[in-house]
Structure 1
Amino acid sequence: MVRASVAQLILFIAALSVSTLFVGVIVTETGLYAQSVEEEGERETAAIDAEIEIINDPEAKAVYNETDETVTVYVKNVGGGTLRPDDLEVVLNGELATVAETDVIGGEPWRRNLVLAVTLDHPIEGGKNRALVRIDGSRDLLSFRYAGSLDWSTDGDWSAGTHERTVSDGIGDRDADTVRLGYDAGDSGLVAYWPLDEDSGDTAFDATGANDGRHVNDPTPGQTGLVGTTAYDFDHTQNQHVNVSHSDSLEMSTDDRVSVSTWIKLDEGWGDTVDDAMAIVQKSDASYNLQLVPSSTSPEVQFAIHDGTEYHFATVTLPDDHEGRWVHVSGRFEADTEFSVSADGQTGTADPPSNVRATDDHPLGIGDNIDDSASNRSFAGDIDEVRLFDRALTDDELSDEYLTATNGSHITDWRTTTGDMRADSLQLENVSATLDGENVTAYVESDTTGDGTADEVSDPVALTESSEVYAVEGITADNDRFRLRLEFETGSVTRTPVVSRIELTQE
């Protein structure tokens, strides 16, 4: 059930029980509007007649159900006789509303001092609404404002926000109507991105759309990969790899700048079967090449640049425990400016050459050096999330490439209700999240000045996978403009929490 708040314009009366309820209030689930937005002395209690009163019943939990488009009104019999619920009529916003259900609280018949819950099959709009209740010549009138709720659940809702190491798209194994940890296919300077999320077939699709790769010797897709996606496994002894045909977009010699980012999981004992440098991502021997150099003591990740005359290398040692687990590796180069290689955030640098040699029509290899003159230098293990940029990433951007499998955040767009929501009654509900043992913390941010910045931020709300309703605390001012900030954390690079829906409502 979707619960949305209503705010009474004429009267707000403090009410503790059915027997002490008063005139003129429609309420939400826990008597939200027990305190007036008007001054104390401006309250009115003018029942139109003596037979019935529209009352506030916090125990009965009146709601406006947005899903079913029903309104529940509570009417108290204050006359001397018994009334028939079937005789009651409600005119809502000038239209006779269909009474879907009536229930005498405390049991029939509807005697004096008993309250009748009247459920109306009638939608209401945001803003001011009016309900006229009448029976046997008696009637009572209520004016109220429906503030509504704020819901984030569609691909448009999530994509409209700001992502930091999170995504809302339908690329690979991901769903567009969710938010989760992951890599953005729209990053600046990204010329190719192979998520390697295929489970079958013989094509490694480029998420940027221009440079699909062809399987060679049947690498095995569908392996457990990064942040809830799949990866490819490559058998070194079978020379398995992906061949990406040459294109100008993969040729980095024009501006002499390039960055490569990917994740690798090496087979245990890989160094015993590999005699030469082992390619990860390579544009032939005579261009740029991210590769591994085996060693019995300290194997290295190496980023090689050929300037047309000689090779230049930046190297960094692999972590001691690298076998059998995912390691992030990257290389970057900008002529005469930057030359480095990283493994799990540890960086090695070297003096940058002045250019990258043009490679003519050499293809790009994922998991192998496809240069015809090279020996078998294919990969031994798994590769995932291969990303190629035509620029040198900054230190912060390289850090983001590594930390994407650890944490990230998403800030939604600002949403505005048709009326102020009560700060002391905000809540999150209808939350749909798959945590997979990981964590999502939600914050509600309020823009009271309308300048697009958060003036108030709620206390953290730790989401669960249950159908829980979460009280939102820490917001002090009633307001009509809110957004959500979601913080994602995972203790395993292969998992990510996923959020598909959150609704901001009132009690």
Structure 2
Amino acid sequence: MTVDSATWSTTADWDAAPADLSASVVHEDLVIDTDGDDTSKLSDQVYLGYPTTGRWDRDPVVYYRFDRIISNGGEQEVEDASGNDHDAVARYVDADGAEGTEVGGIAGTGSFAFDGAGDYVFSKDPASYLNGEDAITVSMWVKPLSSASEESLFFETGADDEGDDEPGPISLTRDKKGGGSLRGDLSANKTTKGVSVADGDQRSGRWRHLVIAWSDTDPLELHLNGRQIASSNKEARGVISNVTDFRIGGDDDLFGRDFTGKIDAVRIYDEELTDEEIDDLYNVSNRGVLVTAGKNLSSAVTGDDLQLETAAAVPSGTAVTVYVETDPDGDGVYEGTSSAIRLDDGTNVYDVQDLPTASERFRVRMVLETTDPTKTPIVGGVRLDSS
């Protein structure tokens, strides 16, 4: 029996996926330092997560994965995964135990834990990528683990006329007082706009996605779990200036607002993301899609002649659903879609159903889902066989 196949399983196969049809998934080599033991994901595997570049979203100017700390000449460095070399330094955040990187971050990655007593991460050169900008978006995942009255999630400082530190152009603060609130502040050309919103759901132990976004033509916005929850009543026009320091998770006792909990996946953009793009950043915690490029079999077949072989890791609380799509006319329009194929863990073979029209050209749509933001399914490859 002769078998004719189309396979998608390599880095090149996933790279060929149309960017406008895929979101909230990634396929990259990723090393996670777990108390000294490295675990990895590979570039020929597809999983929920953020790309280091703008493969399926806009390019960040900074991306701190918070997966590992690298010792370099006595400093504990945090790599900027965007490729722009805006590395950071971790202070009092060790690479093991409760204050280090732990699996339990977003989509099965690591995360950094902050103890509320002086732990923080600071960017080495924030002035180089923030000063002079007329738009910014900061995206981060936060898991509070305390009931402190006020905590700094990220904070920038500037220098006053005498060279002393003062509150900087942009910050995001969590406050337990008065029933709980989130507050964002931004200053452009020394005109400050702030936005504060009631946030009664400040329970410890829950991952939350927070975004602050601004441009000089729009109000300052706060987004929580993919939804805009507040905006300032006026614009802060001009450009960001006077940034001298950018710290995450604490302010080194400058203002007494150190954070207790975990932070993960800090991404900074030098532009204001749209509501849809911000929603895609949040969706990494629950759903992602990858649509492959099309491939041809040697002859036209219907679904009755097809089987799909897959290799996948599907932890509890996650799911992968695959659809086989056909382009019978070869005109680039995929008109046929099979019934949903729900993948089991491991290597398995499935019948392809509900494709009555014969076609030579096929592609695969994969939907990755999770009910736990710290877990992701992983797809290692799919193969379409006809006989």
What is the TM-score normalised by the length of structure 1?
A: 0.66
1 CA distance for matches of 2:320 and 2:337? 16
Letter in 1 for 2:143: K
The answer as to whether partners of 1:260 and 1:290 remain within 8 angstroms in 2 is: no
Taking a change above 3 Å as real, the CA distance of residues 249 and 482 of structure 1, as seen in their structure-2 partners, is: farther
Matched, 1:175 2:70: no
Q: Look up the match of 1:61.
A: none
Amino acid in structure 1 at the alignment position of 2:236 = P
Match of residue 91 from structure 2:
216
Please state whether the residue corresponding to 2:277 is helix, strand or coil: helix
- Change beyond 3 A, Cα 1:199–1:505: farther
The one-letter amino acid of 1:168's match is H
Runs of 4+ in structure 1 deviating by more than 6 angstroms, as ranges, are: none
Distance 1:169 1:467, change over 3 A: closer
Q: Distance in 1 between matches of 2:330 and 2:66?
A: 43
Question: Do the aligned partners of 1:279 and 1:378 also contact (CA within 8 Å) in 2?
Answer: yes
Aligned partners of 1:357 and 1:481: how far apart in 2? 51
Distance, in Å, in 2 between the alignment partners of 1:366 and 1:265 is 13
Match of 2:235 among 352, 358, 370: 352
Q: 1:381: which partner in 2?
A: 261
- Counterpart Cα distance in 2 of 1:321 and 1:217: 25
Deviation at 1:190, TM superposition (A): 1.2
Give the aligned residue type for 2:27: S
Deviation at 1:433, TM superposition (A): 0.6
Q: CA deviation at 1:191?
A: 0.5
Highest CA radius of gyration, 1 or 2? Answer: 1
Aligned to 1:342: 223
- The equivalent residue for 1:164 is 23
Residue pair 1:319, 1:343 contacting (<8 A) in 2 also: no
Contact 1:314 1:349 in 2 (8 A): yes
Higher relative contact order (CA 8 A, sep 6+): 2
Q: Verify: 1:309 aligned to 2:184, yes or no.
A: no
Q: Structure 2 vs 1, CA of residues 424 and 462 (structure 1 numbering), >3 Å: closer, same or farther?
A: same
Rounded to whole Å, the distance in 1 between the matches of 2:124 and 2:49 is 26
1:203 aligns with 2:86: no
Judge conservation of contact 1:422–1:506 (CA < 8 Å) in 2: no
Q: In structure 2, how many angstroms separate the alpha carbons of the residues matched to 1:308 and 1:377?
A: 25
Letter in 2 for 1:484: V
AA at the equivalent of 2:78: A
Give me the identity figure in percent.
26
Q: Structure 1 residues 182 and 207 mapped into 2: Cα distance closer, same or farther (>3 Å)? A: same
Aligned residues: 351
Q: CA deviation at 1:307?
A: 2.9
- Shift of the 435–321 alpha-carbon distance from structure 1 to 2, 3 Å rule, reads farther
- The answer to whether the Cα contact below 8 Å between 1:445 and 1:483 also exists between their aligned partners in 2 is yes
Q: Distance in 1 between matches of 2:362 and 2:70?
A: 43
Does 2:11 match 1:155?
A: yes
How far does residue 359 in structure 1 lie from its aligned partner after superposition? Answer: 1.9
User: Compared with structure 1, are the counterparts of its residues 153 and 358 closer, same or farther at alpha carbon in structure 2 (3 Å cutoff)?
Assistant: same
Per-residue deviation, 1:479 = 1.8
Give unmatched runs, 5+ long, in structure 1: 1-27, 29-63, 65-145, 272-276
Q: Of the candidates 326, 329, 332, which is equivalent to residue 213 of structure 2?
A: 332
Distance 1:504 1:369, change over 3 A: same
Say if 1:182 and 1:404, in contact at 8 Å, map to a contact too. Answer: yes
* Partner AA of 1:151 in structure 2: T
Q: Distance in 2 between matches of 1:357 and 1:467?
A: 52
Q: Distance in 2 between matches of 1:311 and 1:234?
A: 29
Q: Distance in 1 between matches of 2:197 and 2:280?
A: 19
Q: Deviations over 1:288-325 (max 9, x none)?
A: 11222331x42222221123435321223335253111
Partner of 1:186: 53
Give the drift of 1:159.
Answer: 2.1
Whether contact under 8 Å (1:316, 1:342) holds in the other structure is: no
2:107 is matched with 227
Q: TM-score, normalised by structure 2?
A: 0.85
- Change in CA separation of 1:402 and 1:319 when aligned onto 2, cut-off 3 Å: farther
The alpha-carbon distance between structure 1 residues 435 and 400, as it changes in their structure 2 partners (threshold 3 A), is same
1:76-475 matches, cutoff 5 A: 148-162=4-18, 163-173=22-32, 174-187=41-54, 188-198=58-68, 201=71, 202-209=76-83, 210-219=85-94, 220-223=99-102, 224-237=104-117, 239-251=118-130, 253-271=131-149, 277-284=150-157, 285-295=167-177, 297-320=178-201, 322-344=203-225, 345-350=227-232, 351-360=234-243, 362-369=244-251, 374-429=254-309, 431-437=310-316, 438-475=318-355
Distance 1:417 1:426 in 2: 11
- For 1:166 and 1:357, the matched residues in 2 are separated by 32
What CA distance in whole angstroms lies between the structure 2 residues aligned with 1:333 and 1:172?
A: 33
Kept in 1: contact 2:133–2:240 (CA 8 A): no
Deviation at 1:333, TM superposition (A): 0.6
- Deviation at residue 449 of structure 1 after TM alignment: 1.7
Check conservation: 1:440, 1:489, Cα contact below 8 A. yes
Give the drift of 1:422: 4.1
Change in CA separation of 1:200 and 1:388 when aligned onto 2, cut-off 3 Å: same
Q: Which runs of 5+ in 2 are unaligned?
A: 33-40, 158-166
